[in-house]
Structure 1
Amino acid sequence: MLFIEALSRASTQPNERKLISRGKYRPNINSKDSVDLSSAAHQVKEIHLNSQSKTPLTASTSVFANLIEHALSHILNSSLHVHSPEELNLDIKDWTLPLQVPPVGNQQNKRLDGYLEPEIPRRPPAKQLIFHIPVKPSYGIPIDMTLLISPNNGSPEVPSLFHTFPKESWLPVLRTPYPPDFLEQQITHHHILLDQDGEPDQLSPLYAHINQSRIMSEESALPSQTFGLRVWRTKNNNLTPVILGDNRIGLLFVGHYKPIEGNSISEEEKARQASNLYTKA
């Protein structure tokens, strides 16, 4: 990840706070000749990143990206590098990258009456991971920052690290070229969600726009856990993509690209679902 020079004094930013959304009560109406639509059907599932929807990569976003890079290198026990689109010259090309957004919420699969789950070995429950990272300015003492990593509740399979890693970890110092007065004004607590639900080549639409010498062979030495890796920033119950992992490009930071909602269903269909109409069985 490139370190971006801090050209101006950033305004003081309060630490991010996790917002707990209260689930709304929905009456459960059953009918023999109808199928209830899940509340997840009303969520936008498809977005795309577009080369024209970016904002400048700032020193603040660079610090955020390097915190994630530092934590992933520790988790995967590998020296990882998070590329920026600017580093790969993607900022001067026209491209579109489609993505599927996972559902938001803590709803767990409920057991149906009369259904018995098969006996399978139980894994330890998944847990949130807290990483304490001392961030070293260009001079002076390190500033403590925290990265909270959660498993994505919509993932069909939770990555094993959420079962095997300790709940709290203290990482080595992350060195930066920024002065202490700049780092002191940055957000010190970040919350991200992580899943591996993407395709191993989820960045393939970008291959044609990158110098082929920067694209790795399929037998690259990248950890397989980065293939299909997706890191999401969570804020106000919304998920936005931050880092995407690919078996040819590696890790790509997209946190300064504004996601554009993809309208994969017609307005008529969307209105029908919003009216809670039944789909005949």
Structure 2
Amino acid sequence: MADFGFNEHHQSEIINYMRFARSKRLLRLKAIDSCFEELKDSRLVEDTYTVDEVRDMLDGLQMVVRGEVEMELINTAHTNVLLLRQLFSQAEKFYLRLQSDVSELENRELLEQVAEFEKTDFKITNKLNQETSKLKLAPLNEGGVSELLNKEIAKLQEDNNKLKSRLRTLESQAMSVLDEKAKLERTLKDLQRTQGEQKEINNLEDTVAALTEDYERSLSANEATQKELKESLITAKHELLRVQEQLSLAEKELEKKFQQTAAYRNMKEILTKKNEQIKEIRKRLQKYEPDD
């Protein structure tokens, strides 16, 4: 059984078309046979004919047969155009663009397969196709196809709108994350600045310790020097208290900001994930809204 690579339905359609073509061919052959019979009945009534009479009969027969063959060839070409029109019309309803290779129409191997199919498979499946031909598919309803396509388009538009809304939400969240990131960066800078102030406090403590040590060594000095050193020590202690108070406030602020560093890391991870999600959504959106 010849295999053209079609499913059962399309195989049946080919058989129906070949049956139609064969019936038209048989009718045209009968017409040509009738031309010869008419010539025999109307002109061949004598026993002998001259050369001119025979030539005249053959010329007349040639014109009639030529007309019949030409009419059949023209009708076949036009019929094929109508068949292609049906196929293209059905394809366009589904936004398909069919193509044909005219060179394959003269493929001798394929033509032999068609001839073999007509000789064998066509006869074997003739009875089966007579039964299946009764179960004709309903013609494509333009309204139904349009309704199906409109539903599909509406669904795609709805999905597109949902994706747009989701994208706007993610962009808003991303902006919030970016703002939080900026705040955390400022907090980090403040923390680094506070660490610098801590170093300055340590230096002041070292200075106070040195002054205390000098004060203890200068106890034996005169009262003026001793008083001056005492005042310097008091001033240094006041400065130390002031700096310690600032240090206490800075430590509290540092502790509060330091507690936010974990949130900073978490928000940074969230920002990275959101950026990846935005890229993925934009890639998906390009399938539905390609750039002009």
Q: Which has the larger radius of gyration?
A: 2
Q: Same fold (TM over 0.5)?
A: no
TM-score where L is the length of structure 1 = 0.18
Higher RCO structure (Cα 8 Å, ≥6 apart) = 1
Structure with the higher fraction of residues in helix conformation: 2
TM-score where L is the length of structure 2 = 0.18
